[in-house]
């Protein structure tokens, strides 16, 4: 008894002494150059009207305000650790930096954190991204003259084996329509209905027959039965068979509608598309559900973010640049991208908007090889007669202009293609090497606008400015992806849906920009927009 009292007294004294040693001001425990101070200052300078507008009722004073919640989320993504809502809740109760941001308020629970991220911040994430870019321009950190664009694929949180392929769905739909046509024919004959004159049975025909059968059931006052001990009438069986067929047809149409112009999607995340990833845990080129994340970088800062379901980058450039222009209210003068963005419509878009193109042509590397230059069968190496508007093949035959065709791209641009052909390749010693057509003559297609724009872009990247910008694209935008994937260990999204994953990447971009600002101020590199070329 005495021993227990002494131990309890000693524990109380030690606890009292320990409590007296803790500073009463958390501000004294945090270094002056800690990034948590910069995040707090940065958020306090922002206009949070849009964020507060997402709340119908403000939280009480003892709980974290929307401003404090934003500070906590930004700092959580800056920490490069687990950013799940439960981990952030635990850090708010244990980490002194989180307590510093809470300003004496009660730590939010994981439900409040998840709700803030998906319901409140998601509605104004792009607005904050544009606001951050304007701040960087005012601080003379961003020049607003050029943007380096690149994309990477990041895996979705969807299950890996919940794929739906559009080709498979279309094939099964066609087979099921044949079975449905036989079923409808048997029902029409059995129920003595008016036959259909259409060769191909569609969903509207099934609905029409089903409506007639239900009307017939109402006239006969048919009592629908089910379960053991009940015998269904033939009319009830036919109605149930058509209802099941109709539901199956609706299921096929829904899957094709979700696919849209994609080739696949995931059942647990319909916005995600199955594509090849650099991280292949099976080592067999397995496709995974993911997103194509596009970013725009200026002076090492992320100024634009976009999530797309396209597996390639070529169709993401125009909507991505439109998004930057719409949210930042400015138009970049120079666009620097790799060969994956080269297309007719992208060239036309940049030319119409007065933006200088620094896109590397897809044949840039191969065009420098001796094999490419010495191949006489390539259109690029054939002689063009401008006066007669014709091409001369290696055998000396003339390919005259045959016809032209105007094509409309996916973005609505009209592109004219010109076709040239000769009379016959019979007896030509180059037959089989020049082309593999079995029509007996060679036909080539030329798109004058695309050829002209490609030459112009090639001339731009070969200038001293173009070489400098291409080198900086490799350093800046690819360097950002390297930091996010390697240092931040961000290789897979935690949420599902395009809007939610965009929100998560916006938070990551905010945290990256704040840390980049701190590092540039610390190293004295403010105002240095481009990395100079190394002297040879």
pLDDT computed for residue 20 by the predictor:
47
Burial profile 355-388: b = 16 or more Cβ within 10 angstroms, e = fewer: bbbbbbbbebeeeeeeeeeeeeeeeeebeeeeee
| pLDDT of residue 176 exceeding 70 | yes
Q: How far apart are CA 470 and CA 282, in angstroms?
A: 34
Gyration radius (Cα) of the chain, Å: 32
Entry field: residues in the chain? 536
Q: Is 60 helix (H, G, I), strand (E, B) or coil?
A: coil
Confidence of residue 497 (pLDDT cuts 50, 70, 90): very high
Q: pLDDT tens across 454-476, in order?
A: 999 999 999 999 999 999 999 99
Nearest to 40 by CA among 129, 102, 87, 96: 102
Between 320 and 142, name the one with better pLDDT. 320
Q: Encoding tokens for residue 358?
A: 């620094």
Nearest to 505 by CA among 293, 199, 325: 293
Which whole-number Å values give the CA distances from 469 to 108, 332, 462, 474, in the listed order? 45, 14, 10, 9
Q: How far apart are CA 18 and CA 11, in angstroms?
A: 10
Q: What is the DSSP string of 447-467?
A: -HHHHHHHHHHHHHHHSHHHH
Q: How many CB atoms lie within 10 A of CB 176?
A: 15
Q: How far apart are CA 384 and CA 451, in angstroms?
A: 13
Q: How many CB atoms lie within 10 A of CB 161?
A: 11
Q: pLDDT tens across 395-413, in order?
A: 888 999 999 999 887 777 7
Q: pLDDT tens across 428-452, in order?
A: 888 888 888 888 888 999 998 899 9
Contacts of residue 502, Cβ cutoff 8 Å, sequence gap at least 6:
122, 125, 305, 306, 307
Q: How far apart are CA 249 and CA 205, in angstroms?
A: 12
H-run or E-run covering 183: helix 166-191
pLDDT computed for residue 60 by the predictor:
83
pLDDT computed for residue 79 by the predictor:
86
DSSP character at residue 486: I
Q: How far apart are CA 93 and CA 341, in angstroms?
A: 47
Contact between 136 and 296 (Cβ < 8 Å): no
Q: What pTM did the predictor assign?
A: 0.85
Confidence of residue 7 (pLDDT cuts 50, 70, 90): very low
pLDDT computed for residue 535 by the predictor:
62
Nearest to 445 by CA among 413, 483, 416, 410: 416
Confidence of residue 23 (pLDDT cuts 50, 70, 90): low
| pLDDT of residue 2 exceeding 80 | no
pLDDT computed for residue 73 by the predictor:
94
| pLDDT of residue 18 exceeding 60 | no
Contact between 453 and 355 (Cβ < 8 Å): no
| pLDDT of residue 252 exceeding 50 | yes
| pLDDT of residue 346 exceeding 70 | yes
The neighbouring-strand residues paired with 150 are 295
Q: Encoding tokens for residue 464?
A: 């001293």
């Amino acid at each position: 008894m005495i021993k227990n009292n002494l131990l309890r007294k000693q524990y109380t004294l030690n606890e009292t002494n320990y409590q007296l040693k803790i500073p009463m001001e958390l501000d004294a425990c945090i270094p002056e150059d800690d990034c948590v101070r910069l995040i707090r200052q940065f958020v306090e300078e922002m206009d949070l009207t849009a964020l507060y507008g997402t709340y119908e009722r403000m939280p009480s004073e003892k709980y974290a305000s929307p401003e404090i919640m934003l500070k906590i989320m930004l700092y959580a993504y800056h920490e490069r650790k687990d950013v799940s809502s439960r981990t952030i809740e635990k850090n708010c109760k244990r980490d002194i930096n989180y307590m510093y941001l809470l300003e004496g308020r009660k730590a939010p629970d994981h439900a409040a954190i998840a709700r803030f991220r998906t319901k409140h911040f998601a509605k104004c994430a792009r607005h904050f991204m544009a606001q951050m870019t304007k701040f960087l321009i005012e601080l003379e950190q961003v020049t607003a003259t050029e943007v380096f664009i690149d994309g990477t694929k990041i895996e979705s949180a969807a299950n890996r084996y919940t794929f739906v392929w559009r080709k498979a769905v279309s094939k099964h739909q066609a087979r099921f329509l044949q079975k449905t046509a036989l079923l409808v024919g048997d029902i029409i004959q059995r129920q003595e209905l008016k036959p259909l004159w259409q060769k191909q049975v569609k969903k509207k025909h099934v609905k029409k027959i089903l409506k007639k059968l239900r009307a017939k059931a109402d006239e006969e006052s048919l009592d629908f039965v089910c379960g053991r001990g009940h015998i269904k009438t033939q009319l009830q069986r036919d109605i149930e068979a058509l209802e099941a067929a109709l539901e199956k047809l609706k299921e096929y149409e829904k899957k094709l509608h979700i696919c849209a112009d994609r080739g696949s999607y995931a059942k647990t995340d319909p916005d995600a598309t199955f594509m090849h990833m650099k991280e292949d845990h099976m080592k067999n080129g397995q496709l995974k559900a993911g997103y194509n994340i596009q970013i725009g970088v200026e002076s090492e800062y992320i100024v634009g973010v976009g999530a797309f379901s396209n597996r390639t980058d070529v169709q993401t450039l125009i909507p991505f640049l439109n998004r930057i222009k719409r949210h930042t209210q400015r138009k970049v003068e120079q666009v620097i991208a790799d060969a994956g963005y080269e297309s007719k419509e992208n060239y036309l878009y940049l030319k119409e908007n007065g933006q200088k193109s620094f896109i590397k042509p897809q044949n840039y590397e191969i065009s420098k090889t001796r094999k490419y230059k010495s191949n006489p069968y390539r259109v690029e190496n054939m002689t063009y007669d401008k006066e007669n508007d014709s091409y001369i093949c290696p055998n000396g035959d003339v390919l005259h202009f045959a016809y032209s065709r105007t094509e409309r791209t996916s973005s609505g641009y009209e592109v004219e293609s010109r076709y040239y052909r000769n009379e016959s390749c019979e007896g030509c010693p180059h037959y089989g090497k020049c082309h593999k057509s079995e029509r007996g003559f060679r036909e080539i297609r030329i798109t004058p606008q695309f050829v002209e724009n490609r030459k112009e872009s090639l001339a731009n990247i070969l200038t001293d400015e173009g070489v400098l910008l291409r080198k900086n694209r490799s350093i800046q935008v690819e360097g950002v992806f390297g930091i996010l994937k390697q240092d931040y260990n961000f290789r897979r999204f935690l949420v599902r849906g395009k809007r939610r994953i965009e929100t998560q990447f916006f938070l990551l971009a905010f945290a990256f920009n704040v840390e980049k600002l701190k590092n540039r101020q610390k190293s004295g590199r403010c105002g240095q927009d481009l990395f100079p070329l190394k002297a040879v």
